[in-house]
């Protein structure tokens, strides 16, 4: 079978399309961040695709099914071969979500390669809620939330320093050059555009982080 080249995700999400993915409901949606590289596997494999990559409508479920332009993300073209279109081993680093659903995906992969009837996979997400729904909050929970929120803005470096604001003006990333390599490095605080600390807020604040997460666990600032 001939591959159709490579691409990157933008608005695509993963949809459960195989009955073998028994721990997840059919047409359930799993999220990938933007700019995840994937190989366009043959569309003839869609009938053997357990996860399919497509732009779909819905929050947890693809309400209107799959569009004509869909690509196999995890396929079993034969009972001896399972092929992934991207590096699923990076799902934790790049924060694929929901975590429990991707645990189920990895359980299915390990069941296939080990020929075991059931494999349970579990890990603790790097980014997670401080308390579970069943935990009782401490008396200082609200104060702690405010303090941690303030500290987040200090640590996030979303408030530019004077030097960084000047650099941004020179790069003109807001005038059509935002896709350039220099603007991409600037947004990720990469050399030579590092900023070790936040400004004092007098020069405003950047909008936030984008949802794309690099393999170095860095999100871009916008």
Whether the CB-CB separation of 220 and 181 falls below 8 Å is answered with no
Question: 84: how many CB neighbours lie within 10 A of its CB?
Answer: 18
> Which whole number is the average pLDDT over 179-189?
75
At CA 77, angle to CA 94 and CA 103, rounded to 5?
30
pLDDT, residue 220, reads: 55
Give the pair of three-digit tokens for residue 93. 């680093």
Q: Backbone phi, then psi, for 97, in 5-degree steps? A: -140, 160
Highest mean pLDDT (candidates 44-53, 180-189, 210-219): 44-53
Which helix or strand (DSSP H or E) is residue 195 part of? none
Distance of CA 161 to the CA centre of its chain: 29
pLDDT band at residue 174 under the 50/70/90 scheme: low
Mean pLDDT of 13-33: 93
Average pLDDT over residues 167-187: 72
Task: Compute the Cα dihedral for 201, 206, 207, 213 and give only its sign.
Answer: negative
Q: What pLDDT score does 202 carry?
A: 87
pLDDT score at 170:
82
Q: For 84-119, how does the pLDDT look when each residue is reduced to its tens digit (9 = 90+)?
A: 999 998 888 888 899 999 999 999 999 999 999 889
Tell me what pLDDT residue 124 has.
Answer: 84
Reduced to 3 states (helix: H, G, I; strand: E, B; else coil), residue 107 is helix
Work out the mean pLDDT of the chain and round it to a whole number.
86
pLDDT value of position 26: 95
Quote the pLDDT of residue 177: 46
pLDDT at 214 over 50: yes
| pLDDT for the residue 70 | 96
């Amino acid at each position: 079978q001939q591959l159709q080249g490579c691409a990157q995700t933008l608005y695509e999400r993963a949809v459960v399309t195989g009955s073998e993915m028994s721990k997840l409901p059919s047409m359930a949606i799993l999220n990938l961040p933007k700019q995840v590289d994937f190989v366009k596997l043959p569309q003839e494999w869609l009938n053997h695709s357990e996860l399919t990559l497509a732009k779909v409508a819905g929050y947890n479920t693809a309400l209107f099914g799959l569009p004509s332009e869909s690509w196999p993300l995890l396929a079993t073209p034969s009972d001896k071969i399972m092929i992934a279109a991207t590096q699923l081993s990076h799902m934790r680093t790049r924060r694929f979500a929901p975590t429990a659903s991707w645990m189920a995906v990895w359980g299915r992969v390990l069941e296939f390669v080990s020929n075991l009837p059931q494999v349970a996979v579990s890990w603790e997400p790097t980014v997670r809620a401080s308390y579970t729904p069943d935990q009782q909050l401490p008396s200082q929970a609200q104060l702690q939330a405010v303090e941690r929120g303030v500290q987040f803005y200090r640590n996030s470096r979303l408030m530019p320093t004077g030097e960084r604001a000047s650099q941004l003006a020179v790069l003109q990333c807001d005038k059509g050059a935002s896709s350039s390599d220099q603007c991409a490095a600037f947004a990720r605080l990469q050399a030579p555009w590092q900023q070790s600390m936040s400004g004092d807020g007098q020069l405003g604040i950047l909008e936030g982080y984008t949802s794309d997460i690099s393999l170095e666990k860095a999100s871009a600032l916008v």
